[in-house]
Amino acid sequence: MKDLTQERLKELLTYKEDGMFINNFTRGRAKKHSIAGSFVKASPGHGLGYFKIMLDGKLYATHHLVWLYHTGTFPTDCIDHTDRDTTNNKISNLREATRSQNGFNRNLSSNNKSGYNGLHWCNTHNRWISQIRVMGVVVSKGYFKNKTLAIKKHIEESKRHHLKFHAGIEYKHE
């Protein structure tokens, strides 16, 4: 089986501005002019899931196909959804990223109590601790008595190290 090309993709599907694809003709159960693919739910604790499309016997993540459709190449690593909504496959919401960069732009875990990734209360020191991941290593950015100061420092460091992949949180007084 040959790798999917941009030309073959455009033969099979038409991209809509809402980030979805339309089938250009009937293929098995996929009817002409219908929305291509289906939603595959993620395992518990791993986000919502992704839209996927079967083409030429191979299953593809829709956001990877959107990238191929617009750039002519598959991503070399990951595709990051800038708004963190994995169902929003508009090309304007997608960007190429490393696995590490993609991880910087993630939603809060369900057990997060601080409201910020990498910021938590340390019972041992009776203070807030700010930690970020840099080049795969967890780095402590300090202990703080005051949560507002901890948040401010955490956001500064996250923006400095993660650049455009910073999760989009903005400093707010509490």
Average pLDDT over residues 17-38: 94
The predicted-structure confidence for 67-80, as pLDDT tens digits, reads as follows 999 999 999 988 98
The domain 109-165 having CATH identifier 3.30.730: the answer here is: yes
Q: Closest by alpha carbon to 168, among 62, 79, 78, 80?
A: 80
Average pLDDT over residues 16-38: 94
Q: Are 79 and 97 in contact (CB under 8 A)?
A: yes
Residue ranges, comma separated, of all CATH 3.90.75.20 domains in the chain are 6-97
Q: Closest by alpha carbon to 40, among 48, 29, 30?
A: 48
Residue ranges, comma separated, of all CATH 3.30.730 domains in the chain are 109-165
The predicted-structure confidence for 123-170, as pLDDT tens digits, reads as follows 898 988 887 766 666 666 778 888 888 878 777 776 776 556 555 544
Q: What is the CATH number of domain 6-97?
A: 3.90.75.20
